[in-house]
Amino acid sequence: MASALAVDVAVLGGGPAGLAAAAAAAAHGCAVALFDEGPAPGGRLVGQLHRARDGRWRVGRDEAERLRDRAAGAGATLVTGVSAWALAPGWEVYLRGDGDAPRRCRARALVVATGAGELAAPLPGWTLPGAITPGAAQVLVNVHGLLPGRRALIAGADPLGLEAAQLLEVVGAAVLGIHPVAGPDGAAEPPADALRRLVATVGRAAPSPLLRAGGRLVRRRAVARAAVPLLPRTVAGVPLRLREAVVALRGDGRVEEAELAAVGADGRLGARRRTVAADLVCVGGGLRPLVELLAGCGCELVELPGLGGTVPLHGPDQQTTAPGAFVAGGVTGVEGAAVCAAQGTVAGLAAALAAGAPQAARRELAAARAEVARQRATAPVRFHPGLERARARQRTLWEARCAS
Amino acid sequence: MAAADVIVIGGGIGGCALAYHLCGRGRSAIVLERRGVGDAGSGRNAGGVRQQARHPAELPLAMAAIERWPGLERELGAPTEYVQRGNLVLAQSEASVRRLEQRLAWQAPFDLDSELIDGAQLRRLLPFAGPRARAALHCASDGHANPLLTTAAFAAAARRRGARIETGAEVRALEQTAAGWRAVTDRGRYDGEVVVNVAGAGAAALGALVDRSLPIVGARTQTLVTERAAPLFDQFVQDWDAKLFARQTVSGNVIFGDLTEDYLLAGRQVRPADAVRAARAALDALPALAELQVIRAWGGTLDVSLDRMPLIGPLDGLPGHFVSAGSSGHGFALAPVVGELLADWIVAGRRSPLLAPFDPARFSSTGTVDNNAEQAA
Amino acid sequence: MSGPERIARHPVLGEVGGAGAPVAFSFDGRALSGRAGEPVGVALLAAGIRALRRSRGGEPRGIHCAIGQCMECRVEIDGLGVRRACLTPLRDGMVVRTHRDPGAADG
């Protein structure tokens, strides 16, 4: 491959958003190159595996393959094993990879679809080999076919943790429980709040009928507090233990046990401790958009906790404040793969138009935008409660920016 | 609405050191910082703590500052990673050697341990110097420190002495009041008898709020950081032909970047082309770095003044209004002593002779430090 | 407790993991085998090796995020340092060594 490429549209990130963007732009005649760090495109989607409320498994690998084929079939060039380390407006993408990987890519328009990364939930012992993120469990088990341990504990009672519990359980690991993580100040989330948060995020899709049914009721704090003792003992066969927090991990050179403490109604930890033997602990602190490349090239960013952190300010066509740079997927806020892909289509069309594609692309924009809204409305999981509010706030900020 | 004796605008090392010393002299201080402590120049500069190769007007100030540095960690009760193992300015070309000789001549009246060494002596001190370096200026009592840690140390020490530091507080208006000054920010209004503009690259905009035009612009810096390596060198190294600075931190990372101030635009963007140029410059001067991987980079700002010398002092026609900005890339080392001397000036009304060359008024007459020095001679 | 194990057949996904041919590689001089194309870190895990390096404090560190974001799995591969074991595909004859930060205790 040439060391310097020149294309119409460069797409950074080969997850669902990037693949959809590449397909949309290429379908309208643009020369498209997509760059991804991993050995194969698909991003976090490839490892995803969860059971929907109808009991059927959603296999990320299959969906990723469909998206990949569509992008390649439309004529996009997919380059893997290469990292983008800087962007210069104009646009110039600076790349680094092994062997004859390209070093530069000039593009008339850019779609940045770098996704979201996992946040740490530090606790003593979290650096021991065997302590991994829930996302790592997805990748190791479902992509690489490796079960890193046989006795697993989930530290972090959130959508990712629940999915990790499911995927480990299905391949025969003993998943001992889903627990919250104690914070550095020696307290954990009050169980009633943890319940409300769980319901607000996974309630719609919860494999537990009780969580689904109780959803609306539990949103009221008083009801949540009363409901805590009635919590389902298990979620998809895995004990849900919101009243017991993980306070430390221990082992000789690797994770061997986890120390747990009872959590009072106010979140304070009890003095009593319990230790369980575990050789695999998924420690999760949520996801945050990976905006570093955008920050480095002058795109305006805005902080919105409901979207997972700092996101690029963007408009309805996924355009940023940097001319010719569009964004899609997890980098705009943490949402599920279907929403990411829908955003990717919008961004790809808009980028294609910015790069000079025929106006036929414009006719598809409205439908593509509507698809984003539709996917969002029917999304089974919200990664952050308050997502809709945050999206609305983002829109307001964008409109204010345009007006100024 | 809050009030203090002194409102310090700018939460870099200048503002924090000033607040620390003001509080030490029994005055109350509020520091207003528009982003975070050390976010601009103070947290992103090269970290050099040197005396040699400075303009003679700065040399006495720098020599006074060097006396403070060894005891600073103890004084502030926080790490600075200060290392006093020398400064080396490498020269490849004849022209650069002559410039080094000129610096040596400038330094002659002062009792500084700075000497011109040849290639062989250089390679004994810095085995990794590239083949083209033919001479260097060496000062054994110079060194380097961690700018972000040092700034944070001053901030914490200032707070312990009672200073209030407000972050996310950008000053939108500055008004004169009966008692002195009022700074208006999105976070509230702050009243003080005295106001000090220590706003670095933002100093000119702040000056405009009171209708003063300060000849200070923002310039971009570009810094790269390598993975940790075994100890390779402990001096602060500059190369005038390669236009490079480099130092190795106590963790082992090599921090390096461009010396040029040609980028007269503010902004924290990493410009990839600049990063590539800096990397090439580093390999030119210190070829051994080729084995190391660059793991991160940052863009930063310098506040560069018209004559590349700081502006320190009161502003004409504005009682109780001081400025201390425009250190043009060589202010970090001076910060501990400037903070102290400026605090003295504000509290006791006495200006130290060390600060005399930096009177902001110089720009309203013929201009630069050099011109005024010629006139005085 | 047993070590990491390869999943012969996933109840939902069927075939998972690297389908490449078995290849030989070494880790700190130790002769090992893995599947061509799978991440070096996965091959190491399958061989029971969890600790890929030592931190400055001498602590063992291994794969954490498995997707190239955290840099915890950095190893030296064929003489090049700071390579991510979770992303770098295994090739026949690869020489992998622990990435050692300076000052780390010998482990």
Q: How many CA atoms lie within 13 A of C21 on its CB side?
A: 5
Predicted local confidence at residue C107, as pLDDT: 33
Mutate to test the interface with B, among C56, C71, C100, C101 (most CBs of B within 10 A): C101
Length of chain C counted residue by residue: 107
- Minimum-distance CB partner of A297 among B269, B275, B297: B269
Residue of A nearest to B296 (CA): A85
Assign B374 a pLDDT band (cuts: 50, 70, 90): low
Collapsing DSSP to helix, strand or coil, A263 comes out as strand
Q: In chain C, positions 46-105, which contact chain A (CB-CB < 8 Å)?
A: 46, 50-52, 55, 59-69, 72, 86-87, 89
Cα–Cα distance, A200 to B73 (Å, whole number): 49
Which residues of chain A does B271 touch, with a Cβ-Cβ cutoff of 8 Å?
A: 86, 88
Q: Is the pLDDT of residue B373 over 70?
A: no
Out of A87-101, B181-195, C40-54, pick the least confident. Answer: A87-101
- Minimum-distance CB partner of A150 among C1, C46, C67: C1
Query: In the predicted model, what is the mean pLDDT of residues A17-26?
Result: 98
Assign A216 a pLDDT band (cuts: 50, 70, 90): low
Which residues of chain A does B272 touch, with a Cβ-Cβ cutoff of 8 Å?
A: 85-88, 92, 94
Predicted local confidence at residue B296, as pLDDT: 86
The β-bridge relationship of strands A280-283 and A4-12 is unpaired
Contact B223, B44 (CB under 8 A): yes
Q: Report CA dihedral (B285, B289, B295, B297) to the nearest 10 degrees.
A: -10
Cα–Cα distance, B66 to B68 (Å, whole number): 5
Predicted local confidence at residue C105, as pLDDT: 39
Q: Is the pLDDT of residue A368 over 50?
A: yes
Predicted local confidence at residue B137, as pLDDT: 98
Amino acid at B298: W
- Going by C-alpha positions, the residue among B310, B362, B360, B314 that lies closest to residue B181 is B314
Assign B293 a pLDDT band (cuts: 50, 70, 90): confident
Query: In the predicted model, what is the mean pLDDT of residues B164-171?
Result: 96
Residue of A nearest to B273 (CA): A88
Q: Is B269 on the interface with A (CB under 8 A)?
A: yes
Assign B37 a pLDDT band (cuts: 50, 70, 90): very high
- Going by C-alpha positions, the residue among B302, B297, B216 that lies closest to residue B254 is B297
Q: Is the pLDDT of residue A11 over 50?
A: yes
CB contact under 8 A, A298 and B269: yes
Across all residues in chain C, what is the average pLDDT? 90
CB contact under 8 A, B273 and A88: yes
How far is residue A211 from each of residues A154, A164, A180, A257, measured CA to CA in Å? Answer: 19, 18, 17, 30
**pLDDT tens digits, residue range A82-96?**
999 999 998 999 999
Instruction: Choose between B364 and C68: higher pLDDT.
Output: C68
Question: What burial class does residue A248 get, using C-beta atoms within 10 Å of its C-beta: 0-12 exposed, 13-18 middle, 19+ buried?
Answer: middle
Query: In the predicted model, what is the mean pLDDT of residues C2-29?
Result: 94
Predicted local confidence at residue A381, as pLDDT: 82
**pLDDT tens digits, residue range B110-136?**
999 999 999 999 999 999 899 999 999
Cα–Cα distance, B247 to B252 (Å, whole number): 10
CB contact under 8 A, A118 and C69: yes
**pLDDT tens digits, residue range B86-103?**
999 999 999 999 999 999
**pLDDT tens digits, residue range A135-166?**
999 999 999 999 999 999 999 999 999 999 99
> At B101, which helix (H) or strand (E)?
helix B94-107
Out of A40-44, B289-293, B342-346, C11-15, pick the least confident. Answer: B289-293
How far is residue B77 from each of residues A206, B24, B43, B156, B157, measured CA to CA in Å? Answer: 52, 15, 19, 9, 8
Query: In the predicted model, what is the mean pLDDT of residues C52-73?
Result: 93
Which residues of chain B does A94 touch, with a Cβ-Cβ cutoff of 8 Å?
A: 272
Q: Which residue has the tokens 């893995």?
A: C34
Amino acid at B193: E
Predicted complex ipTM: 0.95
CB contact under 8 A, B272 and A298: no
Out of A341-350, B26-35, B134-143, B240-249, pick the least confident. Answer: B240-249
Which residues of chain C does A253 touch, with a Cβ-Cβ cutoff of 8 Å?
A: 50-51, 60
Predicted local confidence at residue B263, as pLDDT: 60
Across all residues in chain A, what is the average pLDDT? 91
Contact B47, B236 (CB under 8 A): yes
Cα–Cα distance, B64 to A328 (Å, whole number): 55
Mutate to test the interface with C, among B225, B226, B227, B294 (most CBs of C within 10 A): B227
- Minimum-distance CB partner of C102 among B228, B293, B295: B228
Predicted local confidence at residue A184, as pLDDT: 84
Predicted local confidence at residue A213, as pLDDT: 62
Cα–Cα distance, A102 to A3 (Å, whole number): 4
Residue of A nearest to B270 (CA): A296
**pLDDT tens digits, residue range C21-51?**
999 999 999 999 999 999 999 999 999 999 9
Q: Is the pLDDT of residue C18 over 50?
A: yes
Residue of B nearest to C101 (CA): B228
Predicted local confidence at residue A198, as pLDDT: 84
Measure in Å the smallest separation between the Cα of C28 and chain B Cα atoms.
Answer: 19
Which residues of chain C does B228 touch, with a Cβ-Cβ cutoff of 8 Å?
A: 101-102
Predicted local confidence at residue A385, as pLDDT: 80
Write out the E strands in A98-155.
104-112, 116-118, 131-132, 146-147, 151-155
Measure in Å the smallest separation between the Cα of A25 and chain C Cα atoms.
Answer: 27
Cα–Cα distance, B249 to B240 (Å, whole number): 21
Q: Is the pLDDT of residue A369 over 60?
A: yes
Q: With both helix axes pointing from N to C terminus, report the angle between A191-202 and A209-218 in degrees, rounded to the nearest 10.
A: 110
CB contact under 8 A, B230 and C102: yes
**pLDDT tens digits, residue range A285-299?**
999 999 999 987 879
Q: For the stretch A55-91, what's the b/e string if a residue is b when 16 or more beta carbons lie within 10 angstroms of its beta carbon?
A: eeebbbbebbbebbebbbebebbbbbbbbbbbbbeeb
Which residues of chain C does A61 touch, with a Cβ-Cβ cutoff of 8 Å?
A: 13
Across all residues in chain B, what is the average pLDDT? 92
CB contact under 8 A, C103 and B293: no
- Going by C-alpha positions, the residue among C82, C88, C29, C78 that lies closest to residue C53 is C82
Q: Is the pLDDT of residue B377 over 50?
A: no
Which residues of chain B does A297 touch, with a Cβ-Cβ cutoff of 8 Å?
A: 269
Out of A225-234, B92-101, B323-332, pick the least confident. Answer: A225-234
CB contact under 8 A, B252 and C101: yes
Q: Is B252 on the interface with C (CB under 8 A)?
A: yes
Q: Which residues of A touch B (CB under 8 A)?
A: 85-88, 92, 94, 296-298
Q: Is B272 on the interface with A (CB under 8 A)?
A: yes
Q: Is the pLDDT of residue A366 over 80?
A: yes
pLDDT above 90 coverage of chain A, percent? 76
